Structure 1
Amino acid sequence: MAPAAWLAAAALVGALVACADREVSTPALPAAEFLFAAGDSTYWVRSGGDGMRVRSAPILLTQVDGGLVEIFLTDDGAEYPDASFATVRLWSRALPSPDSTLLFADSTVLRELAAWRRAHPREPEVDPLDEETPEDPRTVVQDEIEILDVHGPYLTFEHLLNADIDGGPEHTHFGRRYVIDVRSGARMQVADLLGAQEAPRVLAAARASLAQLTDSITKAGAAGDERAAAAVETLASFRFDSASFGLTDLARAPALAFMVPGNGADGEALALHLPPIAVAPPAWWAAVQATLPEWSADSSRVRWIRERYEVAARPSADGDALALSLSGPAGTDRREWPVATVAAPAYQLISLESPPLDSAARRALSRAFDVSTALDGLMQRASAPRRSHAFPRVLPVRRTGDPLPE
């Protein structure tokens, strides 16, 4: 090619590239604001024309009637050289209100503490932060609250009470599962959640499941299974309790999981956990379902689809972490922006742009994140919920007397 022709061709290519450069536009970062719960934290994500901001805290929040409700624990009790008393209370607070609602408290620990103080008026109290406490005190009265799940206005938890009083009454070891309304603390029955028509079917299915389970254990014990034979000895202690159940979900559909309390040969608290029972979705479930993760068929990705954006999370090779990303809605350039790498598994996503947060709610949410972060050294770690893709929650424990956020 002659030099002149080569220069002309080069100029033409340059002009075409320049035109292409002018026509290509970089996709705008989607305008989004949401709370993403995964691992042991909640992530507050805001994105738009000024970039992306991500904040995290060990806080438990749920969406109720279009607003946010924080769930937290407070602890109380006392330590003595040969006695230990510890109790936990469960609370909720609707943002931005400064007032908290007591959801659950067992009076046993504080009642026994008062009785012990009357019987030992000169016994000095031990500060567990400054002094070593005995490893095996003769009197131990403690209770625990284990958060299992939250679905909109309904919180599922288990309560375990252990009371071993030196020279006192018979030891007490008892556990039970509850579903409560975070707005009032009301304890839910099956009919309260599902209606009078669905409740009898679900309760009959739960009793049948228990009968099948105990029958299987009995047959296995008779066939020589040593573990089953040991379990047979405790079967008589298990009594079906129609109110000892939890609300869970299976593939974004509601289900109930019953816990049947019992006791071991030495009096320790035991429980039979029945398989979840799928239930007909009640009217209030639609709002909850929107917050739940939608997994791909091969479990390679979980996503939440919103009108103006989509959030996806991809598990690492070992399944311990999730790569969280944000993209525009379907039908647009599907460029993904990385948000954060978080601990697995994914739990829920609460959208904050519809309805949008007002200034008071935004300030209250920011204060709640501040308090939870500050209390990161004082935690009660809840165990892993017994459902797919759930996560062990970490809740701030506020000691009685500590100020609550305004």
Structure 2
Amino acid sequence: MRVPVGRLRGGAQAASRAARVLVMGASTALVVAALAACGEPAARGQALPAAEFLFAAGDSTYWVRSGGEGMRVRSAPILLTDVDGRLIEVFLSDDGAEYPSASFATTRLWARALQSRDSTLLFADSTVMRELSAWRKANPRELEIDPNDDDAPDDPRTVVHDGIEIIDVHGPYLTFEHLLDADIDGGPPHQHRGRRYVVDVRSGHVNSLAELLGAEEARAVMLAAQASLAQLTDSIRQAGAAGDERAQAAVETLGSFVFDSGSFGITDLAREPAVAFMVPGQATDGEALALYLPPIGVRAPTWWPSVRGTLPEWSADSSRARWERGAHDVTAVPAQDGDLLGLSLSARGVTTSRREWPVATVAAPVYQLIALEQPPLDSAGRAALARAFDRSTALDGLVQRASYRRTPRRHDAVRLRVRRAAFSVQP
């Protein structure tokens, strides 16, 4: 997810999906959406339960308010996380320059508390801007061009790009991947590398496993990850020896994969914490590769209980996700094709039956729910949240962007993946 202003990109979520979700503008209105109810439909005129929450799914975050005046929903391509009762917005900004023979593009990662004017730089790689400065000195007569010009060359001799993809967020800790692609005409050897990081959105501090889990648990996780990597590479070699063509091609690159204890992310399995390592490598042509190991479950650290309540609890058959909120529940039901979710709000009565109201049909997958009722959002907090939604919707990524890519949580069976790193950077 991303915060202040912008559109989403990356992974299975395409920005075009935003057109398929129910969106309410600044003048929110009563939402009427068709979805398959999981309980008994509410009777006409029955009072809506009092509820307020942020629901993150697909490319957007939905701000839902329900009560005596009806139900209101706003949507924006924004990433928010709750840290000790404070809403913090995470976003990306772009910089760089385009020339007829060279292209430079870099992305920086930021965070900002909603009720603060100051932003915290979470991550930035200086490679692109350093190479841009050197290139300008070496080519003082070359003029910068508009990258959106139809006549702009699409195959510059020098390309130095980096990109950031946000993978997940759990309270104060954000997992992201950074990818660098540097091909400099007549310059130093090509650079193609990627790495995964966990950063504290409050400070910009990049965390080690020991800082997040404790030294003993961190050692156990690293040993388990190294064993997983060894088992995987052995399996690939055996498959290659048996004649599997894809495995034979992969064997050529296995020597380039070197375990990096700092290249990991925080994820969750059935609402419990887990660690997922990205092992960087290179193809025979120098392109960056990434091997993703299965998540390893860990003991819940002290900061996890507040995160657990934001995560969906999936039914055994993966037919619905639910958040229990005392007097009411929030439920998300996937459509048959898995691309959409029906979001509903239900109230518990004196009987075991639940009365349900449809909220919206949204793009999958589902990420998190941040409750705003306890403690209730005050007027200053609500005004700051409204401003953040306004900025994100109005600027539409021209200044800042928000991006979140993640595998749907209901598919807890994790697939091993070897992926050629992509280095596209949006304007």
Q: Give the TM-score normalised by structure 2.
A: 0.83
Matches of 1:69 and 1:115 in 2, distance apart? 36
Q: What is the aligned partner in structure 2 of residue 152 from structure 1?
A: 171
Seen in structure 2, the aligned counterparts of structure 1 residues 25 and 103 have a Cα distance that, compared at 3 Å, is: closer
Q: What is the aligned partner in structure 1 of residue 393 from structure 2?
A: 373
Which residues in structure 2 correspond to 1:202-351 (within 5 Å)?
202-329=221-348, 331=350, 334-351=354-371
Q: What is the aligned partner in structure 2 of residue 172 from structure 1?
A: 191
| Residue 89 of structure 1, aligned match among 86, 92, 108 | 108
Seen in structure 2, the aligned counterparts of structure 1 residues 173 and 398 have a Cα distance that, compared at 3 Å, is: closer
Matches of 1:271 and 1:283 in 2, distance apart? 31
Matches of 1:187 and 1:53 in 2, distance apart? 38
Q: Is the 8 A contact 1:347 1:389 kept in 2?
A: no
Q: What is the aligned partner in structure 2 of residue 30 from structure 1?
A: 49
Per-residue deviation, 1:134: 1.1
SS at match of 2:247: helix
User: 5+ unaligned residues in a row in structure 2: which ranges?
Assistant: 1-42, 412-424
Matches of 1:48 and 1:361 in 2, distance apart? 19
Q: What is the aligned partner in structure 2 of residue 7 from structure 1?
A: none
Seen in structure 2, the aligned counterparts of structure 1 residues 309 and 59 have a Cα distance that, compared at 3 Å, is: same
Seen in structure 2, the aligned counterparts of structure 1 residues 287 and 113 have a Cα distance that, compared at 3 Å, is: same
Q: Is the 8 A contact 1:175 1:261 kept in 2?
A: yes
Q: Deviations over 1:353-381 (max 9, x none)?
A: 11122222111111110111123254867
Q: What is the aligned partner in structure 2 of residue 17 from structure 1?
A: none
Matches of 1:383 and 1:49 in 2, distance apart? 34
Q: Which amino acid aligns with 1:388?
A: R
Higher relative contact order (CA 8 A, sep 6+): 2
Q: Is the 8 A contact 2:165 2:405 kept in 1?
A: no
Seen in structure 2, the aligned counterparts of structure 1 residues 25 and 384 have a Cα distance that, compared at 3 Å, is: closer
Q: Which amino acid aligns with 2:330?
A: V
Per-residue deviation, 1:111: 0.3
Q: Which amino acid aligns with 2:123?
A: F
Matches of 1:398 and 1:47 in 2, distance apart? 36
- Is 1:132 matched up with 2:169? no
Higher gyration radius (CA): 1
Q: Which amino acid aligns with 1:79?
A: E
User: 5+ unaligned residues in a row in structure 1: which ranges?
Assistant: 1-23, 391-396, 400-406
Matches of 2:71 and 2:150 in 1, distance apart? 46
Matches of 2:84 and 2:403 in 1, distance apart? 26
Q: Deviations over 1:256-289 (max 9, x none)?
A: 0001111111111111111110111111111101
- Is 1:385 matched up with 2:394? no
Matches of 1:158 and 1:377 in 2, distance apart? 20
Per-residue deviation, 1:198: 1.0
Per-residue deviation, 1:129: 3.5
Matches of 1:170 and 1:149 in 2, distance apart? 33
- Is 1:185 matched up with 2:209? no
Per-residue deviation, 1:334: 2.0
Matches of 1:398 and 1:67 in 2, distance apart? 29
Per-residue deviation, 1:197: 2.1
| Residue 354 of structure 1, aligned match among 367, 374, 379 | 374
Matches of 2:142 and 2:78 in 1, distance apart? 38
Seen in structure 2, the aligned counterparts of structure 1 residues 387 and 194 have a Cα distance that, compared at 3 Å, is: farther
Equivalent residue pairs, number: 370
Per-residue deviation, 1:176: 0.3
SS at match of 2:274: strand
Report the RMSD for the aligned CA atoms in angstroms. Answer: 2.0
Q: Give the TM-score normalised by structure 1.
A: 0.87
Higher mean C-alpha displacement, 125-134 vs 26-35:
125-134
* Percentage of pairs with the same residue: 72
Per-residue deviation, 1:389: 4.2
Q: Is the 8 A contact 2:364 2:408 kept in 1?
A: no
